Structure formats: structure tokens, C-alpha cells
Amino acid sequence: MQVAEKPLLKIEAETEGGKIYFRATGPLSRVAGPAIRKINEIFASEKPIRSGPDQIIFSTWIPPAPSPAFDRMISAQVAALTRRRIPDQVSIAIIRACPNNCLHCSAPSRKGEILSSEDIKRVIDEGLDLGSYLISFDGGEPMTRRDLPDLVAQVDGRAVSTSFTSGYGLTEELVQSLKRAGLYAVRVSIDSPHPKEHDRFRGREGAFSDALSGIKNALAGGLMTDLFMVASPMNIDDLEDAYNLAAELSVHELSLYEIVAVGRWSTHLDEVLSKGDIDRLSRFHEEKNRLPEGPRVSAFPRLLGPEMFGCFAGRRWLHIEASGDVLPCAYMPISFGNVREKSLKEIWRDMGRDRWMKGKPAGCMMKDEKFRQAHSSIFEMEE
């Protein structure tokens, strides 16, 4: 199957034993070769969500192939090898309001007037112009913003759009509106596969019930659905139960992120994942993706490690706060400018000139003691 086509480069996809392999042809195939080999190396141990004769859906984090957005994903991987910076993902916090009071909320102290619909649409256009193939909406609780379907519709075929949610407000009617607007996937967050513990972490009774209801509505409405869990010392022993819940609900993917000492968790520097925990997540990722059935697993501490893609913050990811401040990622409260005052292109350029955003870090920079010390005054404001 041909999954990407440019004037001087074509990418063919082949499936074998349930795995996907890519092959480049055309005058630029030598240039793209290292990127294709890297992708094949990673995909060799991965499980796609769905593969058929006409379309491959590898992950809720990757555009379907073939599609213009998938073409851009391939281009972004080639660019990364030549050190040309492209923000693969642009995430936008579209609201601060939220019914929950999560223990690990990354943005409880951030202030400022929330961006208007017009500002967000302009930011989406600017992110697309920079080469992004994934536009994500988060908050707060994005489902409580009434114009969310209109914002989703602003994302054209050059990228796919996804939204985070706690499940609160994700009704059947809203799912239908989001589907019509073109939403690719929804990410429903859980902190524990056990209802009482999840509700405790979210600071609200009924939060687990809302998550399950949102998932069922999303699946019934035909949305790709990802169960998203922030892994911490408090739930690292619940991985198997989380996977069983994902399988029971028939979601497409289980994504596991790493808790970051920021926001309400900024004083919990000793309550983050250890190297042993990271290794455990990697083994879990590999083990579950060898299974022919069940949801795909994406353990980001593994995927964003130095041997894989490396930390995306400020290199392949930028985040727009609800106030318009632009951060290297949603967990790094360092602003490089505001979209009300400067174009996203200018801010992205300035971000790339920062000495901390150059090179390939050994891991999440928010766990780097030297980085945190250099920005201690900013992190202290988050507490």
C-alpha cells in the first residue's frame, strides 16, 4: 500500500505477521532512508491499532495512512534527522474551568485571560503552517467549552485533531458534533483503574463514573478512544488492572505518561518514577504489544527516551497555555512569548535558540536537576 507520496519520494507500507514495514522509493529515498529505517526499527516491536488493505491506523498519536497528515509526519521525521525543527504536536489549553481538583494538576497557578475562539483558530492555522500533524486540545476540561466542535473543525486535512477529557460532559450529542467536526481521537484520563482511588485522586466523587460514561459514548459514536493514565508511584502497581480495564472497555489504546513534579505536584520531587519504574513501563509496553489481541499500549517514558525519539519539549512539541503563553510542553512552565503579542513562528524560532532546547537530552528535562536549578524562580511560582 502506498501511504505517502511527494513529487520525489514515495513510501510503501507492507504488513507481515501483524507488523508494518515501510519502504522508500524515488530520487529522495536516500535522504529519507535513515528516517524510514528508524521508523521501521521502532515499529518492528509495535502493534498497530488497525491494518487493512486500504488504511493503517498505527496509533491515536499518529495520523492514519495514507493521508496528507501522514505525509507530514514522515516529513517531520526526515526533518528531525537534519536538525530542522518542526513541532510535530501543537497542544492548546482552551479552558481552565474543570469539575475536578486533581492532585497532579500541572496548571493550577497559571493566570490570565483565556484565549478567544478567533485567537485559537489563528494559533491552529499558524501551527499547521509550521508543519504540525497533530493538534491537541486540553484544559481544564475541554468538553465544557461550547465552541470545541468549531475549534476542531478549524484543523484541516494537514493534521489530525485530538482532545483530552476526564469524561465529564462527553455526552452522546457532543460526541456526534465532534465526530462531524473531524475529531480523530479522544483521550479519557484515569488515575487509577479502581473507582474510589481514581475519585480520590481527582478530588470528586463520581469522576470514575464520568470517565466510563465518556468512553462508552465516544466508542458508540465512532471516535478513536485512548485511555490515558499518568503513571506515578501511586499507581505503578496497577498497570495490569489498567490494561484489563482498557481491554474490557474495548478502547483502541492505553497511553501511559510519566508524572512530572510541576503544578500541584511540584513539591513531590521524591514522588516521581524511578529508573526501575521506567524500565517496568518499557517491559509492559513491549509485552502487551506482542499480544495479537487487546488495545495497543504506548508507554511514553520508553518512546521519548534517548534511544528512541528523545524528549519532545521545545524540539518537536509546543504548548499554548489558556492565556496565550507558549511553553515547550504542557509540563514545563517556561514561557517564550504570548500569541497575542507575537506570531507562533517567531516564538518557535526563539524557543529553538534557547541553550536548553538544543541537542538531545538524556530524558525529561523536568527531571534534570541542573535545568530545575537554572529555572528555580519560575518553578517556585508554580508551588
Ordered domains of the chain (ranges, CATH) = 1-56 (no CATH), 87-376 (3.20.20.70)
Spatial separation of the C-alpha atoms in residues 86 and 237, rounded to whole Å: 36
What pLDDT, on a 0 to 100 scale, did the predictor assign at position 382? 57
Q: Which residues contact 134 (CB under 8 A, 6 or more apart)?
A: 61, 63, 69, 88, 89, 90, 159, 160, 161, 162
Q: Is the pLDDT of residue 43 over 60?
A: yes
- pLDDT of 103-118, one tens digit each? 888 766 667 789 999 9
Q: Residue 314 — left, alpha, or beta (φ > 0 → left; ψ -120 to 50 → alpha)?
A: left
Spatial separation of the C-alpha atoms in residues 289 and 72, rounded to whole Å: 25
Computed on alpha carbons and rounded to an integer, the radius of gyration of the chain in Å comes to 20
Spatial separation of the C-alpha atoms in residues 357 and 370, rounded to whole Å: 14
Q: Residue 114 — left, alpha, or beta (φ > 0 → left; ψ -120 to 50 → alpha)?
A: beta
Q: Which residues contact 200 (CB under 8 A, 6 or more apart)?
A: none
On whether the CB atoms of residues 57 and 50 are closer than 8 A, the answer is yes
Calculate mean pLDDT across residues 148-176: 98
- pLDDT of 331-377, one tens digit each? 999 999 999 999 999 999 999 999 988 877 777 888 888 888 888 87
Q: Is the pLDDT of residue 25 over 90?
A: no
Its pTM stands at 0.91
